């Protein structure tokens, strides 16, 4: 990232910021450097499912609380899963940076993953699989380009509730596998100190 400041905390967590003083909003995210290629054969699709479930409530916030808190601040929250990474991110006004970091930290380290939500999100992902059919980018891994590698497998995949329940807790990801980034009109030290407190 051009012009970025990067600090590695004692926990191994890396904090990366890029100051844009002229910006009126900022983006803040947590990048987990693990994705579909890191799954075992009996876990295919779990990384994407865990991404979906992160928004379904934590020990201190319900799914509604998460959505309301972000929307009341005029923010936007989303996530994505690829073969290489899973990312959770927000766009919001600079004065809500601490809130944004707190929410991202909470959904990553304290998800509750209610059983009813697991089944509901399974249905959502099945729909996403259907919508992705025929797109070359989503089919090419099955064309034999990587026959002996995890890269040959799809990010989107169907699975059972038991597989999700038995999957690893997202907070078990090693600290050095988490790469947070902030872009906007906030100082590097402010972001670094807040992340030190919450993660």
User: What are the catalytic residues?
Assistant: 51
Q: What sign does the CA torsion over 79, 82, 86, 89 have?
A: negative
Task: Give the Cα separation of 121 and 118 in Å (integer).
Answer: 5
Query: 112 in the Ramachandran plot: left (φ > 0), alpha (ψ -120 to 50) or beta?
Result: alpha
Per DSSP, the three-state class of 28 is strand
CA-closest candidate to residue 78, choices 115, 123, 30, 34: 30
Q: How far apart are CA 147 and CA 153, in angstroms?
A: 9
Q: How far apart are CA 114 and CA 165, in angstroms?
A: 10
The helix (run of H) or strand (run of E) holding residue 4 is none
User: Would you say how long the chain is, in residues?
Assistant: 199
- Helix 97-109 vs helix 188-198: angle between axes, to the nearest 10 degrees? 30
């Amino acid at each position: 990232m051009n012009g970025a400041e990067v600090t590695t905390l004692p926990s191994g967590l890396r904090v990366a910021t890029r100051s844009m003083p002229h910006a009126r909003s900022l983006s803040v995210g947590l990048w987990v450097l693990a994705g579909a290629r890191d799954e075992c054969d009996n876990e295919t699709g779990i990384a994407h499912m865990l991404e979906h479930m992160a928004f379904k409530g934590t020990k201190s916030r319900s799914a509604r609380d998460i959505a309301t808190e972000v929307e009341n601040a005029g923010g936007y929250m989303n996530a994505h899963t690829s073969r290489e990474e899973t990312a959770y991110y927000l766009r919001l006004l600079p004065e809500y940076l601490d809130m944004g970091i707190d929410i991202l930290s909470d959904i990553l380290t304290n998800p509750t993953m209610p059983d009813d939500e697991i089944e509901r999100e399974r249905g959502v992902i099945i729909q996403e699989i259907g919508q992705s059919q025929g797109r070359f980018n989503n089919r090419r891994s099955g064309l034999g380009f990587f026959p002996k590698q995890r890269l040959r497998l799809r990010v989107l995949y169907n699975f059972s509730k038991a597989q999700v329940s038995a999957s690893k807790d997202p907070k078990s990801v090693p600290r050095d596998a988490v790469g947070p980034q902030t872009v906007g009109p906030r100082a590097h030290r402010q972001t670094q100190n807040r992340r030190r407190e919450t993660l």
